[in-house]
Amino acid sequence: MHCCAHILCLIVKDGLKEVDHSILRIRGAVKYIRSSPSRLARFKACAEQEKITYKGLVYLDVETRWNSTYLML
């Protein structure tokens, strides 16, 4: 018998398969932005200019932890 947390993880993982293509594109964009300090600075400047609130970090998810995918999105 699985614990509730494991069952929830399996449900979310299955649901994320529906938007896998979009998540892969977002993951690629995050890697691109984070790979250069000037890109990251420009991204932050654009977010401030457009009055988009953010926590100051651009998160890259860990594929085995669905909550990190939530933070990335």
**Percent of the chain whose predicted confidence (pLDDT) is above 90:** 40
Q: How confident is the model at residue 68 (pLDDT cuts 50, 70, 90)?
A: confident
* Mean pLDDT across the chain: 86
CB 30 within 8 A of CB 72: yes
How far is residue 52's CA from residue 7's CA, in Å, rounded to a whole number? 34
CB 33 within 8 A of CB 58: yes
pTM (2 d.p.): 0.71
Would you tell me the crossing angle of helices 20-34 and 37-49 to the nearest 10 degrees?
Answer: 110
- In this predicted structure, what is the pLDDT of residue 1? 58
Here the tokens at position 71 are 């933070």
- Report, as an integer, the average pLDDT of 9-35: 89
Number of domains in the chain: 1
- In this predicted structure, what is the pLDDT of residue 35? 94
Domain hosting residue 68, numbered range: 4-72
**Percent of the chain whose predicted confidence (pLDDT) is above 70:** 99
